[in-house]
């Protein structure tokens, strides 16, 4: 059913494009009219290994024939395998599995508060977050988000969040009080405009947390699982967080989220304090295991570095071709933003008409999130179309 209007029986909370996708393979997707597109978004940083990757498909089919779901009242072996892999890759100790990024960040917030109150014996509960951040759509995570547009109409918002400018150390120092329990941030603000954190600032945040007895919480929903060129974005900064949140690329399109923390912090979640019905069920955990195994077996991080280099070269050409329209290119790995002097909506729409799907990240930034198996030719195709789009606007 091809439609260009809002479906009658769905809530109208998405500004949907006028296409209906029905099939995907690798980096290509097809709509219900048979038109083919290059997906340069990975489904918003989700299908990092391409659509319907064969190795994952085989593993999921095998699990589908065995066991779909069981409650978390029993041991789930797949969870234990996935948790061990995440611990080994991150240097953290223990994991909790849920269904989405918002749930993972909700878990981070609850973990930080309970750690402060039950493990440390304080009455601290406030979390410092940053302007232009995006942490989710639950009441707590949208309150932590540093964008007013997501909060409109949802008052009263929960207490316990203070938002300050990004990459501003003095602002953070001024915001710390005897109620502060944690600092929460993205190391590359994806939805907020593709703004990377400054290395010296991140290291200073770690020192501040240590000095004041605060937790450093890293939102790795979009940056985690190889998106920035390392397994986790914090590994670019030579710091160790107390806990991180994961989702998006962890299941290659199958819904799964996670909180991974040090053993000391994870101890705040005693039996009965937090939970989920579907989180980490055998299917979801199998998708996570297969994603990480495929990335290791195929040395995907090396592939990310190569695609990044090709993409940067093409974007440098783009900037040279359109010096009046391209301001800068920023980001890490395969999370890149092209800041324009003009609104980004028109070139993004033009590219889609020409068969390349891209995203915006704020009014004047084109966000590029190609999969980790993108070819050199697909990179060149995408940037050629973006160049054409800029010429047309």
What are the C-alpha distances in Å from 326 to residues 307, 329, 347?
Answer: 21, 8, 12
pLDDT tens-digit readout, 280-291: 999 999 999 999
Instruction: Please name which of 43, 94, 24, 26 lies closest in space to residue 222, comparing C-alpha atoms.
Output: 43
pLDDT tens profile 295-329:
999 999 999 999 999 999 999 999 999 999 999 99
Taking residues 91-110, report their average pLDDT: 98
Domains in the chain: ranges and CATH: 21-53+300-392 (3.90.1150.10), 54-298 (3.40.640.10)
Which among 250, 211, 240, 228 is positioned nearest to 96, based on CA atoms? 250
* 85 burial level (CB within 10 Å; 0-12, 13-18, 19+): middle
User: Is residue 238 pLDDT above 60, yes or no?
Assistant: yes
pLDDT in tens, 134-147: 999 999 999 999 99
Annotated binding-site residues for N(2)-acetyl-L-ornithine read: 137, 276
Please give the pLDDT value at position 4. Answer: 58
- Claim: this prediction has a pTM higher than 0.75: yes
Please give the structure tokens belonging to residue 231: 């397994």
pLDDT at 277: 96
Rounded mean pLDDT of 218-223? 98
CA distances from 360 to 132, 194, 367, 369 (A): 14, 10, 5, 11
Q: Which of 275, 218, 266 is nearest to 118 (CA)?
A: 266
User: Given this model, what pLDDT does residue 393 score?
Assistant: 85
Q: Which residues pair with residue 184 across a beta bridge?
A: 217
- Tell me how far apart the alpha carbons of residues 108 and 248 are, in angstroms, rounded to a whole number: 16
Share of the chain above pLDDT 70, in %: 99
357-385 pLDDT, tens digit each: 999 999 999 999 999 999 999 999 999 99
pLDDT attached to residue 3: 53
Q: How far apart are CA 181 and CA 113, in angstroms?
A: 7
Q: From the annotation, which residues make up the binding site for pyridoxal 5'-phosphate?
A: 101-102, 134, 219-222, 277
Q: Give binding residues as ranges.
A: 101-102, 134, 137, 219-222, 276-277
The Cα–Cα gap between 3 and 262 comes to: 48
Average pLDDT for 101-127: 98
* Nearest alpha-carbon partner for 219 in 115, 112, 80: 112
């Amino acid at each position: 059913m091809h439609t260009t209007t809002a479906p009658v029986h769905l809530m109208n909370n998405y500004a949907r494009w006028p296409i209906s996708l029905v099939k995907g393979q690798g980096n290509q997707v097809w709509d219900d009219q048979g038109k083919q597109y290059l997906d340069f978004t990975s489904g918003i940083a989700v299908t990092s290994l391409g659509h319907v990757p064969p190795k994952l498909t085989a593993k999921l089919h095998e699990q589908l024939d065995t066991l779909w779901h069981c409650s978390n009242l029993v041991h789930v072996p797949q969870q234990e395998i996935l948790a061990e892999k995440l611990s080994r890759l991150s240097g953290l100790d223990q994991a909790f599995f849920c269904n989405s990024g918002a749930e993972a960040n909700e878990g981070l917030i609850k973990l930080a508060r309970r750690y402060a109150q039950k493990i440390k014996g304080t009455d601290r509960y406030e979390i410092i977050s940053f302007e232009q951040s995006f942490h989710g759509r639950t009441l707590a995570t949208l309150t932590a988000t540093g964008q007013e547009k997501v909060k409109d109409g949802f008052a009263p918002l929960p207490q316990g969040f203070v938002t300050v400018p990004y990459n501003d150390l003095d602002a953070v120092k001024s915001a710390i009080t005897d109620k502060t329990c944690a600092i929460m941030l993205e190391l590359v603000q994806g939805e907020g405009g593709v703004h990377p954190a400054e290395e010296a600032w991140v290291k200073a945040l770690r020192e501040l947390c240590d000095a004041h007895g605060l937790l450093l919480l890293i939102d790795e929903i979009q940056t985690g699982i190889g998106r920035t060129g390392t397994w986790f974005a914090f590994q670019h900064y030579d710091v160790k967080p107390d806990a991180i949140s994961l989702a998006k690329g962890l299941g290659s399109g199958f819904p799964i989220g996670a909180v991974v923390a040090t053993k000391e912090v994870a101890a705040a979640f005693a039996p009965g304090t937090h939970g989920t019905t579907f989180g980490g069920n055998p299917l979801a955990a199998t998708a996570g295991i297969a994603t990480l195994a495929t990335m290791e077996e195929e040395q995907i991080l090396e592939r990310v570095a190569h695609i990044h280099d090709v993409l940067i070269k093409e974007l440098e050409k783009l900037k040279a071709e359109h010096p009046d329209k391209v301001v800068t290119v920023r980001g890490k790995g395969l999370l890149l933003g092209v800041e324009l002097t003009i609104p980004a909506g028109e070139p993004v729409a033009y590219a889609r008409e020409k068969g390349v799907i891209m995203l915006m990240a704020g009014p004047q930034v084109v966000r590029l999130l190609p999969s980790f198996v993108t070819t050199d030719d697909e990179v060149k195709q995408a940037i050629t179309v973006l160049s054409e789009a800029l010429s047309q606007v």
